[in-house]
Structure 1
Amino acid sequence: MIAFNRRNFLKKSSLGLLPIVVPFGTAAAFDPNKNQFPDVAPKVIKLFGDGEMFEPGDYLNELQKAHAATAIVKDRYGVGGVIEALEEKFCELTGKEKAIFMPSGTMANQLAIAVLSGDKTKVFVQDTSHVYRDEADAAQSLFQKRLMPLAKDETYFTAEQLHSAIANLKNEEVFESGIGAVSIENPVRRTDGKFVPLEEIKKISAYCRSNNIKLHLDGARLFMASAWTGVSIKEYASYFDTTYISLYKYLGASAGAMLCGPKEVIDKMAHLIKIHGGAMYGNWTNAAMALYRLEGFETRLNNAINAAKEIASSLNQLPGIKIEPLAGGTNIYSIKLAKNIDAKKMQAKLNQEFNIRMPMPNAANEGTIMINETLLYQPVAYIVNAFKKSI
C-alpha cells in the first residue's frame, strides 16, 4: 500500500507542480468592454485532487454561467436565496429531513457530534479519521468530548470491534460517563481514499440503533465512495443520523459544507454556528457554484471512471508503466514506472505539450494519481497518446 498523507501530498504536489500551476494570462482577468471574465487558463487535466478547483478568473466565469442558467439569489446570514435551494437539493440527495450550510467540514463534524452526544462524553471514531487526526482536538477543547479511536492505522473498525470496546468499558473504567455517539469517515483519505464496506456500515448502524447510540457520517468525499461502489448517497446516509458532505473538494466551490439530518438536530445548528463565529453575511458565491456544478456531477464522475479504465487498459499494454486502482479504494490509483523512465522529464512533457499535470513519483518511480472529472476535458485517445509520447 502506498501511504497517503494529505499534507505531505499537498506539499510535494505543490513543489512538484510549482513551475506549471501559475495561471496563464492573469493580467487580463477582466475585459470591461465585454463585461465578462475570460478564462485565465486553458482546460487542464489534473491527475491530483478530487475534482476541479478553479483559479479566480475561472471561478468568476463559472459563476457567470450559473447566473445565466438560473439567476443567483443571494442569502442573508445563510438564510434564503441559493442557500435554501442548495439545502433542498441535499435533502433530496441524502433523504434527510433537513440540511444546513456550514462554513467548513470541521464545523459540520464537530457540531453534529456535539449535538448528537448531548451530555455524554465518549465518541468512538476511526484512528485514521479526519475527526481524530485533523481537527485540532476540537472535540476535546471546545465540546468536552473524549474521542475513543479504534482500529489503529486501518481504514475502518468493525461492528464487532465497536461492540467489544463498549462492552469492555465497565472493566476498564471506574466511572461511567456515557457513550454519546459514533463517527465514521467514508471514504478515508488517510488510507488512500479507501471506503468502509457497506455490510460493515449496516452492522454498525444496527448495533448503534439497538443501543440508542447516535451515528454520524463524515462523508466529505461521499460522492467518491458512491461512484466507486455503486451505493447511492441516499443509501449511505440512511444508516446514519447525520451526514456531512463537502462542497469544495469536487463541486467547485471555494469553501463550504452541508450537514443533513433530522429537523430536531439541524434546527439547533444556526445558533451554534453563530456562537462559534461561523455566521457569515453572504454565502451565495459558494452555494451557487456547488448547486450549479452538482447538476450532472454523478454522471460526469462515472464517465471519468470509465475513461480511467480505458486509459489504464491501454497504457498497461506499454512496457514500463502500470496504472491500477487500489484494492478497496476510490479515486486514488497507483502508478509505477520502470527504472529507466525519467519521471521528471515525463511530467514536464505531459504538462508543456499536452496540458496534463500529475504528481511526481518517488525515488522508486512509484506514486499515485487521482481520478476526477478533468479527465473528460480531452478524449481518451488524446490522453493515451500524450502518455505514449511523454514516456
Structure 2
Amino acid sequence: MKTYDLRSDTVTLPSPAMRKAMHDAEVGDDVYADDPTVNRLQEMAADITGTAAALFVSSGSMGNLIPVYLNCGRGNELLIDSRGHIVQHELASCTAIAGAMPVTIPTEKGILDVSLLEGRIQPDIYYCQHTRMVELENTHNAAGGTFYPLAVLRGIAAFARRRKLTVHLDGARLFNASIASGASVKDISACADTVTFCLSKGLGCPVGAMLCGRRDFIAEARRVRKMLGGGMRQAGIIAAAGVYALQHNVQRLAEDHENARVIAAALAGTSWAALDPKDVATNIIYFDTPGRDAEDVVKALERAGIRCGASGLHTIRFVTHLDVSRKDAKQVAAIVGKLKLS
C-alpha cells in the first residue's frame, strides 16, 4: 500500500536532479566566506528579495533568532501574533538566548495590522521596557497558511518607520505567500528590514534557510551565526540544493495550493472532518474532528495510508508539497472520502 505523507512540507526528499547538483557542487570554506556555491546562493537570495545581502543559515529558527538578537536587544519587546512560530515552536529562544520579551497579540487568521499594533507600544517612561520590533509570519503556519495582503504589509511598514521599530518577516513559506497573493517577493520583502525564508519546506531542500537584509546587518548576522554554532565549512554541498530549488521549484508551488484544495473539498464531504474549503489559502489544511480525539483519527488515517499529525485535541493538519502530485492528491481525496469512522 502506498503511503502519502502529509505531515509537513519538510518531509520532501531531494530529487535526482537536486542530488546531482549537490554532488557536482564546487565548494570552499564558508567560515572564510570562500565557498563559491554558498556565495552564489546568497547572491541569488539577495537578488530575489531585493535586499543588499543574504546569509545561508542552518534553519528558519536560526534565521528568526538572529534578527531578534541584533535588532530587538535584551530587555526589550517584540510584537508578534499570539500563534506565531517564534513563540510557539522555537523553544523560547528569543527570550532564552536573545533576552527579548515577546508581546503576543491575538489576531484574525494570523494577520496583524496597524490597529492591533498601535495600542501595544510601550510608553516612553523609564520603568517600561522599550518596544523595538514587529515580527510578521507570511504565510502563517498555525493560522492555516494564510497570507498578508500587500496593502496591509505596506501599512505596517509605514507605521513601523514612524514609530522607529524594525520589522522582521518570518517568510518560511515566503514564495507560497507571493504566489497566493500575487505580490512579488521583492514587494513583500520591501515591507521588512529583515527577511527569512526556508529552503527546506516547499522548495524541497534537505536543509537550510536564508536571512536577508542590509549589508551591515548581514555582516553582524554572520558573527551571531558563528556564536550560535552555525558556521559551516564546505557548505556548498547543501547550498547547491538551494540554488537548484530557486531555479526550478518556485513556480510549481501553485500546484501544491491546488492539490490542497482538492483534498480539502474531499474532507469537507465527510462526517468526521469539519472545515470550510474556502479557508485553504495555500498548501496547509487544518480541520477539526468534532466529537473525536484527533489522535484516534490520525491513527485511522495512517492505517488507510495517509500520514499526518494532530495539532490539538480535536484538530489535524495536512500539508501538500512537491512529493504529492495531482494524482496523489486525488488518491488522498478518494481515501478520505471512503474512510468510515465509528
Q: Compute the TM-score of the two structures, normalised by the length of structure 1.
A: 0.71
Length, aligned pairs only? 333
Q: Does 1:372 align with 2:321?
A: yes
C-alpha deviation, 1:295, in angstroms: 2.5
Change beyond 3 A, Cα 1:45–1:163: same
Matching residue within 49, 52, 60 for 1:105:
60
Q: Where in structure 2 are the equivalents of 1:196-235 lying within 5 Å?
A: 196-235=148-187
Inter-partner Cα distance in structure 2 for 1:365 and 1:273: 38
Which blocks of at least 5 consecutive residues in structure 1 are unaligned?
Answer: 1-19, 21-41, 352-356
Write the letter of the residue equivalent to 2:118: H
Inter-partner Cα distance in structure 1 for 2:218 and 2:66: 10
State the Cα RMSD in Å.
3.7
Inter-partner Cα distance in structure 1 for 2:69 and 2:299: 50
Partner of 1:156: 111
Partner of 1:169: 123
Inter-partner Cα distance in structure 1 for 2:135 and 2:302: 42
Q: Where in structure 2 are the equivalents of 1:5-84 lying within 5 Å?
A: 45-50=4-9, 52-54=11-13, 59=14, 61=16, 63-67=18-22, 71-77=24-30, 79=33, 80-84=35-39
Percent sequence identity over aligned pairs = 23
Change beyond 3 A, Cα 1:379–1:134: closer
Secondary structure of 1:205's aligned partner: helix
Inter-partner Cα distance in structure 2 for 1:109 and 1:343: 33
Change beyond 3 A, Cα 1:51–1:140: closer
Change beyond 3 A, Cα 1:386–1:169: same
Partner of 2:139: 187
C-alpha deviation, 1:335, in angstroms: 5.7
In the TM superposition, what whole-angstrom CA distance separates every residue of 1:370-389 from its partner, at most 9, and x where no partner exists? Answer: 22223326376666666667
C-alpha deviation, 1:238, in angstroms: 0.9
Q: Where in structure 2 are the equivalents of 1:220-299 lying within 5 Å?
A: 220-299=172-251
Secondary structure of 1:333's aligned partner: strand
In the TM superposition, what whole-angstrom CA distance separates every residue of 1:48-102 from its partner, at most 9, and x where no partner exists? Answer: 3125522xxxx4955543257xx31124135322211211221122111100011
Which is further off, 173-182 or 252-261?
173-182
Matching residue within 23, 28, 43 for 1:88:
43
C-alpha deviation, 1:269, in angstroms: 1.6
Matching residue within 132, 135, 142 for 2:97:
142
Write the letter of the residue equivalent to 1:76: D
In the TM superposition, what whole-angstrom CA distance separates every residue of 1:263-299 from its partner, at most 9, and x where no partner exists? Answer: 1111112222222222122323321222223323222
Say which one has the larger Rg: 1
Write the letter of the residue equivalent to 1:234: K
Q: Compute the TM-score of the two structures, normalised by the length of structure 2.
A: 0.80
Q: Where in structure 2 are the equivalents of 1:308-319 lying within 5 Å?
A: 308-309=260-261, 315=266
